[in-house]
Amino acid sequence: MSPGPESVLATVADPTVFGDMAEQGYTSWAYSLVDSSQVSTFLISILLIVYGSFRSLNMDCENQEKDKDGNPLPGSFNNSNSNSIQTIDSTQALFLPIGASVSLLVMFFFFDSVQVVFTICTAVLATIAFAFLLLPMCQYVTKPCAPVNKISFGCCGRFTLAELLSFSLSVLLVLIWVLTGHWLLMDALAMGLCVAMIAFVRLPSLKVSCLLLSGLLIYDVFWVFFSAYIFNSNVMVKVATQPAENPIDVLSRKLHLGPGMGRDVPRLSLPGKLVFPSSTGSHFSMLGIGDIVMPGLLLCFVLRYDNYKKQANGEVPISDACSASPISTALSSDTLWVSKQSMEGWISRVINNDLSPGLLTATVASRIHRAAQPALLYLVPFTLLPLLTMAYLKGDLRRMWSEPFHTKTSSSRFLEV
């Protein structure tokens, strides 16, 4: 999945916008940190990273089985997982922040001219991503009655019943979102984008991870904190929060369908972020999907590396690790590609050591300064620095730094995640 216009919104910071509030006491201020909007943002971010990482692992498992047998697995998404996976190399990691900056400026200066095209492209990407998110559930539902053979659609390809069901539900959700503009539907589409990006994008080594996250940290900090001094406006926040014209409204005007046709549809807030209002409705919390995806890619890399080492040393047989369908990874506890102990340890590390301190720090900073905060400023150090330290102490730093999946090792020590 190559970087595109969606990457601009995907790396939006963690601005939490509040209404005019009087000075609060310490108790009230502390309580505001754990209100419904903040808690929802935290929990959903963790769940998306965990789920996306294990979908990524299952795709690797499917590809191994496909290469071994020479036949695609019946449960793979259109049997194109291996072709769809995008591995970021060093050059892409260096230039991605630059490309994202150019795209951000284009959206800032020419948003009115490109908003309809951008909205349509975002809707198409969100449809595909949400269908990928729904696929395991649809496989589980259709498993008793699913035909063995795929249904052919000519030049469009052959699809299983579960794939057709997930895509149909995704199209329906996008249509309802376009008609209503509801924030909950926008969040659902953003969740699909998060999971798809974590599952289809790979970080091949720790060197590439450091280059990418360091560059995006600088990108995030500059456009949130310093862009106002150059452009007289916070470019990142303006692009992230600016609603786009509804394509139905634009189409009705172009076709001169009359004042009542399509004019009552709302402007659309694009699914490049997760938005959660508080229970009182006085404020809302907003987190860009890039602030979930980028740390998620790093943590997914660590999980894949740990599992690869154990497979290379014969601790996890591939035949026992792989299952015939991604539904096993999504819904079954005894057919996961990694052991239950490794899964619990990795999830515990994600929650307690990596993301939680970064998200908590970003939340506190947004409360103190009452302004948008670059979430990667807090998330990157709390994920990258502990990983580097732990890899060094375990003796894995040298191997993880350069192409760890293309070399073999006889070491019996594993990077516990």
Catalytic annotation on 69?
no
DSSP 192-253: HHHHHHHHHEE--SHHHHHHHHHHHHHHHHIIIIIHHHHHSS-HHHHHHHPPBPPHHHHHHH
Query: What digits encode the pLDDT tens for the residues 209-238?
Result: 999 999 999 999 999 989 989 999 889 888
**Which pLDDT score is estimated for 67?**
65
Task: Please say if the pLDDT value at position 354 is more than 60.
Answer: yes
Type and span of the H or E element at 16? strand 16-18
**Cα 304 to Cα 228: distance, rounded to the nearest angstrom:** 40
Which position has the higher pLDDT, 200 or 14?
Answer: 200
Instruction: Find where tokens 């102990």 sit.
Output: 341
Q: How far apart are CA 408 and CA 232, in angstroms?
A: 53
Distance (Å, whole) CA 55 – CA 129: 13
CA distance 7 to 9: 5
pLDDT of residue 293: 92
Q: Which of 220, 249, 306, 354 is catalytic?
A: 220
- Whether 119 shows a pLDDT value over 70: the answer reads yes
Q: At what angle do helices 183-200 and 90-142 cross, to 10 degrees?
A: 110
What pLDDT is attached to residue 347?
Answer: 59
Looking up tokens 């516990």, which residue turns up?
A: 416
Question: In sequence order, what are the residues at sequence separation of 6 or more whose Cβ sits closer than 8 angstroms to the Cβ of residue 4?
Answer: 103, 121, 125
Stretch 255-267: mean pLDDT: 69
Q: At what angle do helices 376-394 and 355-369 cross, to 10 degrees?
A: 150
Condensed to tens digits (0 to 9), the pLDDT of residues 154-191 reads 777 788 888 899 999 999 999 999 999 899 999 999 99
Q: Indicate the pLDDT class of residue 308, thresholds 50, 70 and 90.
A: confident
Tokens of 263: 């004019």
The whole-angstrom separation of Cα 146 and Cα 372 is 48
Calculate the CA dihedral of residues 272, 118, 106, 251 and round it to 10 degrees.
Answer: -130
d(CA 181, CA 12): 20
Cα–Cα distance measured from residue 363 to residue 279, given in angstroms and rounded to the nearest whole number: 17
pLDDT score for 261: 59
Query: Looking at the DSSP assignment, which residues form a beta bridge with residue 273?
Result: 288
Dist CA 302 CA 327 (whole Å): 23
In tens, the pLDDT along 121-134 reads: 999 999 999 999 99
Output the six-digit token pair for 262. 């399509």
| pLDDT at position 104 | 92
Average pLDDT of the residues in 24-46: 68
The two tokens of residue 412 are 């019996």
Q: How confident is the model at residue 342 (pLDDT cuts 50, 70, 90)?
A: low
Choosing from 14, 187, 249, 291, the catalytic residue is 291
The per-residue pLDDT for 92 is: 93
Task: Tell me if residue 291 is catalytic.
Answer: yes
Taking a C-beta distance cutoff of 8 angstroms, is the pair 288, 273 a contact? yes
Phi then psi for residue 16, to 5 deg, are -110, 110
